[in-house]
Amino acid sequence: MGRIVCVANQKGGVGKTTTASNLAAGLAKGGLRTLLVDLDPQCNATTGFGAVPAAEHPLVSERPLAESVVSTDIESLSLLPGSRSVRDVERIAALSRSGSAVLEQHMAYGLGGWDYCLIDCPPSLGDLTRTALAGSTEVLMPIQCEYFALEGLTQMIEVIRDVMQARPGRLQFGGIVLTMHEASLELTHEVEAEVRDFFGEIVFETVIPRDVAVSEAPSHAMSVLDYAPRSAGARAYTELCMEVRDCE
């Protein structure tokens, strides 16, 4: 089975979907069969590649996950669309809270045919995020280089540890990536120093700069690597892909 990477953070606006999408695109461009799973009811990862949200989320559908996968314009990159259905979210949450193994088995069997599977989670510590963590082999956490970067992070770490204890040897901490990095701001360097001092080697060397090209790319249904391949953001996500691959 390939690597299943859960991209999660309870805070919104930290570049979670952007990181999941561009990292998936970069891995696929490197020749790796990659699947991007949209578990966020906002469905930004889905629409960001020009796809249409599913009427029923594949995780609660009776169909095999592979039958719900759609192709993208990037060779080797596939997408499992998200759903905006409140009912689907409630069904996933109910299964998760009941301790049912249905979702976990569904993900384990359905997501094993790719070299990499990246799961874009909602900005919360709710049942959807816990479900994604339980079905993943590692978790990658984007942190914004701003004042409240570490706010609530303890709770996120506790949830990850709970899942690790429940599934010994299954889930690993893949790393922390600093996003929206502005080298000209003293605050950015203060936050970066604090995060690196506290978390040490699990923080990726690559930082993702604040780049307008990164923000514009989804509106063109493209990754930043295709929309602006010479931009600072594209270079950063390419370097992050190399770091992630080196962690194998």
- Evaluate whether 96 touches 133 at the Cβ level (below 8 Å): no
End-to-end CA distance of the chain: 13
Q: Which of 213, 143, 216 is nearest to 180 (CA)?
A: 143
The pLDDT assigned to 102 comes to 57
Q: Which domains does the chain have, with CATH numbers?
A: 3-246 (3.40.50.300)
Are the C-beta atoms of 178 and 143 separated by less than 8 Å?
yes
What pLDDT, on the 0 to 100 scale, is given for residue 2?
84
String of DSSP letters for 197-233: HHHGGGEEEEEEE--HHHHHGGGGT--HHHH-TTSHH
pLDDT for 65: 79
Residue 2: closest CA among 104, 81, 111: 111
Buried b (16+ CB within 10 A) or exposed e, 89-125: bebbeebbeeeeeebbebbeebbeebbbbbbbbbbeb
pTM of the shown model: 0.92
pLDDT value, residue 106: 65
Q: Per-residue pLDDT tens, the chain, 248 aa: give them.
A: 589 999 999 888 899 999 999 999 999 999 999 999 999 999 999 999 999 999 888 878 777 778 889 999 999 999 999 998 878 777 777 766 655 555 566 666 666 678 999 999 988 888 888 888 888 889 999 999 887 777 767 788 888 888 888 877 788 888 999 999 999 999 899 989 988 998 889 999 999 999 999 999 999 999 999 999 999 999 999 999 999 998 76
How many CA atoms, within 13 angstroms, populate the side-chain half-sphere of residue 73? 13
Residue 206 · residue 54 · CB < 8 Å: no
Q: Of the candidates 193, 208, 201, 197, which has an alpha carbon nearest to the alpha carbon of residue 240?
A: 208
Which pair of tokens denotes residue 88?
């689907």
- For 187, other C-beta atoms within 10 Å of its C-beta total 12
CA distance 134 to 123: 17
pLDDT at 110: 67
Best CA proximity match to 62, nearest among 33, 91, 85, 42: 91
pLDDT of amino acid 51: 95
- The predicted structure's pLDDT at residue 113: 78
What's the pLDDT score for residue 109?
Answer: 66
- Partners of residue 80 on adjacent β-strands: 37
What are the beta bridge partners of residue 78?
35, 71
